[in-house]
Amino acid sequence: MAANNEKSSGTVAYINARLLDPASGLDTIGGLLTEGEIITDVGPGLAKKKDAPKGAKVVDCGGKCLSPGLVDMRIEIGDLASTAEAAVSGGVTSAVCLPNTDPVIDDMTVVEFVARRARKLGLVKVYPYGAVTKGLQGRELAELGLLAEAGAVAFTDGTKAVADAQVMARALSYAATFGLMIVQHPEEPSLTADGVMNAGETATRLGLFGIPPEAEVIMIERDVRLAEMTGGRLHIAHVSTAESIDAIRRAKGRGINVTCDTAPPYFALNEAAIGDYRTFAKLSPPLRAEDDRQAVVQGLADGTIDAIASDHTPRDEESKRLPFEQAAPGGMGLSTLLAVALELHHNGHMGLLDVLKLITSAPAGLMGLDAGALIAGRPADLVLFDPEQGWKVDADALGGKAKNSPFDGRPVQGRVLLCVVDGRTVFEPGE
């Protein structure tokens, strides 16, 4: 549905809701009040219509789950309007976009331009990453301090690893003086140049060049050492292998300032999803073996993995309808982030609040965003959802223009019923 770009005004009472707030540990039947763009009250004392203030607009949540809007710490923007539509349809109210835009986000004016365009659309709140290196070329550091002043919330070269150890060390050291975070795409490029899927029996059977899992852990172990050497703040994006998770677990045990995230394909799918050259399942990093998938689930359950990001990578039809070797890697993820993450709860691996934390307060905390909490005084960014409602992912019916979902055809549980940004309803199904 189209957004209402007018500022929200007046009082809205969301009653008869199961309130879920990982930031405060709240899980109770109650209600929530908003005044304009801000949450003003929340708790069990607002459960019924009679509890709503006189003159308030009342939204009966029907006993469904009301939580903070989702916070997605890594998306790629193709068409901004289409991306925003996909985001709110999935309950995502805040998202951080990679710097591999055109032009690259390595300049203050581009940071400001991206944020301004997103505000004009009035849907999801978009925060930009700044590039670590100029032009994402891996050679010369971008002006990290100036980019941060302009609004960049962290720094990454996106889908490219910062391959040069000296450049990465300088980036970590420089960023540390500003308290900024460097986010690494963990892949040793010299080991992955010709690969198109995970190395192993499946790749051999399909006659495809493999990407060794070691390419991921080698880069992680190097960067952990560099973070230790510089005192910098390191974040590893989309971890996908058992060895990588073990390496991060050990680094955290040694007190190194390292965090990490993963994406739904790496705990919900394995390399078998490629089937007979299914290009929707060609991702970066690639889908891994079943043992690795199980290790990702365990890493989420035990807290080694700090957050889940959608890794939303829209691709046009032409770039996916090619032979597997030539097809572009990447998959849509915004519209399915909540439903696939909830599989961790439905399958008994984690509690509901623990899963929601990974896609709300945890990424908000990592990125320093004023988001991800149902607390008075905070922005009225909300999602109402039914965790039990089943549906089948149909890539053609998902929000946004791109249709390259690795979960196409998958039965899932968890449906977004309402998405609210700054007190304004920006999505309801069927509108």
Residue 7 pLDDT greater than 70, yes or no: no
Average model confidence (pLDDT) across the chain: 95
d(CA 52, CA 32): 9
Mean pLDDT over residues 144-153, rounded? Answer: 96
Q: Give pLDDT tens digits for 217-238.
A: 999 999 999 999 999 999 999 9
The average pLDDT across 352-356 equals 98
Q: CB–CB of 191/215 below 8 Å? A: yes
The C-alpha atoms of residue 223 and residue 236 are separated, in whole angstroms, by 9
Average pLDDT over residues 413-423: 98
> C-alpha 400: how far from its chain's center?
16
- Cα–Cα distance measured from residue 64 to residue 74, given in angstroms and rounded to the nearest whole number: 28
Task: Tell me what percent of the residues of the chain surpass a pLDDT of 90.
Answer: 91
Q: Is the pLDDT of residue 83 over 70?
A: yes
Q: Are the CB atoms for 307 and 230 separated by under 8 Å?
A: no
- Per residue in 388-413, pLDDT (tens digit) is 999 999 999 987 788 899 999 999 99
pLDDT, mean of residues 86-97:
97
Mean predicted confidence (pLDDT) in 189-214: 96
**pLDDT of 8:** 61
pLDDT at 2 over 50: no
Look at residue 18 in the predicted model and tell me its pLDDT: 98
How far apart are the C-alpha atoms of 301 and 349, rounded to whole Å?
Answer: 6
Cα separation, 67 vs 65, whole angstroms: 6
What local confidence, expressed as pLDDT, does residue 3 receive? 46
For 235-296, the DSSP string reads: EE-S--SHHHHHHHHHHHHTT--EEEEE-HHHHH--GGGGTTT-GGG--SSPP--HHHHHHH
Query: Of 21, 51, 306, 311, which residue is the catalytic one?
Result: 311
Answer for the pair 344, 355: CB distance below 8 angstroms, yes or no.
yes
Residue 401 has a pLDDT of: 82
Q: What percent of the chain has pLDDT over 70?
A: 98
Residue 311 appears among annotated catalytic residues: yes
Confidence (pLDDT) at 413: 98
Q: Give the bridge partners for 259, in sequence order.
A: 235
pTM attached to this predicted model: 0.97
Look at residue 1 and tell me whether its pLDDT is greater than 60.
no
DSSP 157: -
Domains of the chain, CATH where assigned: 69-367 (3.20.20.140)
pLDDT for the residue 78: 85
| CB 107, CB 144: distance < 8 Å | no
Determine the pLDDT at residue 9: 61
